[in-house]
Amino acid sequence: MCGIIGCVGRDGETLDVLVHGLSKLEYRGYDSAGVALGGNGVSVTKRSGRIERLRDALEDDPVEGSVGIGHTRWSTHGPPTDANAHPHRDCTGDVAVVHNGIIENYQSIRDELVAAGHDFASDTDTEVVPHLVEAALADGADPESALRQAVDRLEGSFAIAAIVAGTAAVFVARNDSPLVLGLDDDATYLASDVPAFRDYTDRVVYLADGEFARLDADDWTVTDETGQRVQKEVDTVSWDAEETGKSGYDHFMLKEIHEQPRALRQCLRGRVDELSGSVDIEDLGDLSPTGVQFVACGTSYHAALYGAQLYRQAGIPAQTFLASEYATAPPPIGDALVVGVTQSGETADTLSALREARHRGARTLAVTNTVGSTAARECDHTLYIRAGPEIGVAASKTFASQLSALNLLALGTAPVGDAREAIAALRDLPGQVQELLDESRAQEVAQLYQDAGAYFFIGRGHQHPVALEGALKMKEITYKHAEGFAAGELKHGPLALVTENTPVFAMVVGDGEQARKTVGNVKEVEARDAPVVAVTDGQTDVDRYADYVLDVPETHPCASAVLANVQLQLVSYHTAKLLGRSIDKPRNLAKSVTVE
């Protein structure tokens, strides 16, 4: 999704800071990029396509300024052309604006502005903003009030940053789309996402909906909708700038897969007492839900399916809903808890479902990776998964951390019997993941089956969400058809798709009934000549029917899903690499999906 960077006070370096910030935002997904430099005048350079095109344009025609804003655009209104790229300008060229989100009433405003004589240069909803600012300036408003007056007219979601010729400041407004300020001694920054300026400062201020800010080189102020000054807390980011680099790995995704042991340790740290078997999660209080509804999208939805299983096993009714379908869910009953699982904390579908849940009177909990995110701020409670920044568009380490955090949540809020074994298994998990990463033969599997027509993934119980996640990862980074099924469902239809050209990945762990039944399903596909890759801890005889075995260590049922999933992540990663795909930025996808 779109990204914003801005800075004031880095005289002589403003352009470098902006372009570096844009490159740090690339992971969010984009199809054009641009910058505006201000000071006495305003100059705008923007290009469709990759940031390299913008860099080339800036090398050909360098620009300077003491203040600047930049943007990576992910098209919504109008195709990815130079003209539709941000920043957008007013008729005089003295105002430049970047915007994330969607302005729902832009058409009527645009019609009105065109009738008043304004010329528009793009198809975007954003372009109404600089023209509204222009009109307010012409009426005598100062830049700060001009932006406020413009924003007053807007309906929809937006994070907006504007510069105006003659003023060495950036003016920003936020509604339903994230914006964070970065503070240094003699410079200020703003961005839609901390990595954009993390190389320069770790001191941040998260803006809330309805807030405005003015950034000067050595000062910053935040005001509310009425113009009253708001006292904001300055937070310190807990992760290092290096965490947003590749550290020698070919791709962020591979690096993040390898960061899972650390992420899992961080998730657990200080939250469990192994001796007593108790879980103590900061700030959650005594939740004791009588029922739980999970809402989430994509990978987080798969984690949520797993979370609901944990609650049901503890005897608490729990359901999972795709956040975009939550409108059709039954109202939460009694003391129910609605849990939004969202890595970014900014996914529009999930935020909207959580708001609906609150409207229906439910208590809400965000399980998120992102401190200061909208989900964290809006929900009654927050459980941070503490995975650290995830740059690869495809979620990897955050899925593992979500599963770990959901285990803690269920153990802490719906205790059944002695939790010591489960806690010990969670404690051992980072070491086991490390072992698996060191010894995995996933690359051989990728080599063997890189030409397959499609990939199927099957599992039961906790391995069902893993099968769904394995398929999602495979399709998003290899662009190949992949589907995950509950193993028992295969014979009810999907078996018709199974051929000698469709490898089936079967997750078979433990020696219980579910594992044994899955072995039966493996025999069904083997009889139809499909290659079988068993992801197994060796407690059944599935290896007799498998063409290839990917080992996972034996563990408690609460930890096996994370381990099996790591093998599938590696198979998808190596397949995508062999196929030469854009692994960290798969086509058409964005890291944080802020539109419904």
d(CA 54, CA 87): 13
CB 149 within 8 A of CB 97: no
182 binds ligand F6R, rule: CB under 6 A = no
Q: Which of 48, 319, 350, 567 binds ligand F6R (CB under 6 A)?
A: 350
Least distance from ligand F6R to the Cβ atom of residue 325, Å: 14
Interaction of residue 100 with ligand F6R, rule CB under 6 A: no
CB of 327 to ligand F6R, least distance (A): 18
491 is catalytic: no
Q: Is the peptide bond before 87 cis (omega within 30 degrees of 0)?
A: yes
Q: Does 364 bind ligand F6R (CB under 6 A)?
A: no
Q: Does 366 bind ligand F6R (CB under 6 A)?
A: no
Q: Percentages helix, strand, coil for the chain, rounded to the nearest 5?
A: 40, 20, 40
Distances (CA, A) of 233 to 196, 203, 238, 266: 20, 10, 15, 25
> Is 2 among the residues known to form the active site?
yes
Among residues 14, 32, 188, 342, which is the contact residue for ligand F6R, using CB under 6 A? 342
Residue pair 405/367 in contact by the 8 Å Cβ criterion? yes
Q: Which is nearer to ligand F6R, 128 or 297 (CB)?
A: 297
Give the nearest distance from C-beta 91 to ligand F6R in angstroms: 38
Residue whose CB is nearest to ligand F6R in the complex, by number: 298
Question: Could you tell me the CA-to-CA distances from 498 to 343, 456, 466, 522 in Å, in that order?
Answer: 34, 8, 20, 12
Cα dist from 402 to 299, 397, 559, whole Å: 10, 9, 12
* Among the listed residues 43, 192, 343, 560, the single contact to ligand F6R using CB under 6 A: 343
d(CA 257, CA 255): 5
* Beta carbon of residue 540, minimum distance to ligand F6R (angstroms, whole number): 30
Q: Find the binder of ligand F6R among 90, 176, 476, 584 (CB under 6 A).
A: 476
In angstroms, give the least distance from the CB of 567 to ligand F6R.
17
Residue 534, interface with ligand F6R (CB under 6 A)? no
3-state secondary structure of 483: strand
Strands in 381-472 per DSSP E: 381-384, 454-459
Distance CA 301, CA 309 (A): 12
User: Which residues in the 268-307 window bind ligand F6R by CB under 6 A?
Assistant: 297-300
Q: Is 570 in the site for ligand F6R (CB under 6 A)?
A: no
Judged by CB, which is closer to ligand F6R: 336, or 341? 341
Q: Is 18 in the site for ligand F6R (CB under 6 A)?
A: no
CB of 579 to ligand F6R, least distance (A): 17
For 481-571, list the strands marked E by DSSP.
481-486, 504-508, 532-536, 548-551
In angstroms, how far apart are the furthest CA atoms of the chain? 81
CA-to-CA dists, residue 510 to 108, 183, 310, 332, angstroms: 61, 52, 17, 34
Among candidate residues 46, 473, 577, 591, the one labeled active-site is 591
| By CB under 6 A, residue 514 contacts ligand F6R | no
Q: Does 401 bind ligand F6R (CB under 6 A)?
A: no
Candidate segments 11-19, 168-176, 342-350, 496-504, binder of ligand F6R by CB under 6 A: 342-350
CB 44 within 8 A of CB 69: no
* Number of residues binding to ligand F6R, judged by CB under 6 A: 15
Instruction: Note whether 594 binds ligand F6R by CB under 6 A.
Output: no
Q: Which of 1, 387, 395, 426 is close enough to bind ligand F6R by CB under 6 A?
A: 395
347 binds ligand F6R (CB under 6 A): yes
**Which three-class secondary structure string do you get for 39-98?**
CCCEEEEEEECCHHHHHHHHHHCCCCCCEEEEEEECCCCCCCCCCCCCCEECCCCCEEEE
Q: Find out whether 2 and 346 touch, Cβ atoms under 8 Å.
A: no
Per CB under 6 A, the segment of 67-75, 131-139, 282-290, 338-346 that binds ligand F6R is 338-346
Token pair for residue 503? 């490898």
To ligand F6R, the closest distance from the beta carbon of 593 in angstroms equals 5
- Residues with a known catalytic role: 2, 591
Site residues, ligand F6R (CB under 6 A): 297-300, 342-344, 347, 350, 394-395, 472, 476, 592-593
